[in-house]
């Protein structure tokens, strides 16, 4: 299962963590993982190019983003990415879990 958690504080998204594997198909053929990866790497590239967010970690089955100084731009990009991930989750609820954490 892909586990997606994001933190919201004072109406700002301050962190995003994506971990796991959907398990829908074998590695390299899993369309759910491909969809989540495409959305996530597009989001990371946009954050890198368009904001000052620079605390991003990519590892094996783990992606972490921490936003120390949220801005309207980082909030917009992260919100758009989360909406896209929720869209994939709606049709694949057995394989993706999304949890919002409020601080």
pTM for the model: 0.94
pLDDT tens, position by position, 52-75 = 999 999 999 999 999 999 999 999
What is the pLDDT at residue 53?
97
**Residue 102: pLDDT over 90:** no
The percentage of residues in the chain with a pLDDT greater than 90, rounded to a whole number, is 94
- CATH numeric code, 2-102: 3.30.70.1490
pLDDT at 103 over 90: no
Where along the chain do its domains lie? 2-102
Q: Which positions are catalytic? A: 21, 33
pLDDT at 28: 86
60 CB-contact burial (10 Å; exposed 0-12 / middle 13-18 / buried 19+): exposed
What pLDDT was estimated at residue 27?
83
Burial degree of 67 (CB within 10 A; 0-12, 13-18, 19+): buried
Q: Beta strand 55-59 with 2-9: parallel, antiparallel or unpaired?
A: unpaired
Tell me the pLDDT tens digit for each residue of 74-88: 999 999 999 999 999
Q: How far apart are CA 79 and CA 12, in angstroms?
A: 9
Task: Give residue for tokens 């971990």.
Answer: 19
């Amino acid at each position: 299962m892909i586990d997606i958690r994001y933190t919201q504080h004072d109406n700002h998204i301050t962190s995003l963590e994506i971990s796991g594997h959907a398990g829908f198909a074998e590695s390299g053929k899993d369309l759910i993982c491909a969809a989540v990866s495409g959305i996530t790497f597009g989001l990371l590239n946009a954050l890198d190019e368009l904001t000052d967010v620079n605390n991003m970690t990519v590892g094996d089955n783990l992606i972490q983003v921490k936003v120390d100084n949220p801005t309207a731009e980082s909030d917009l990009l992260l919100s758009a990415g989360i909406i896209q991930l929720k869209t994939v989750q709606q049709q694949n609820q057995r394989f993706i879990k999304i949890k919002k954490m409020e601080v």
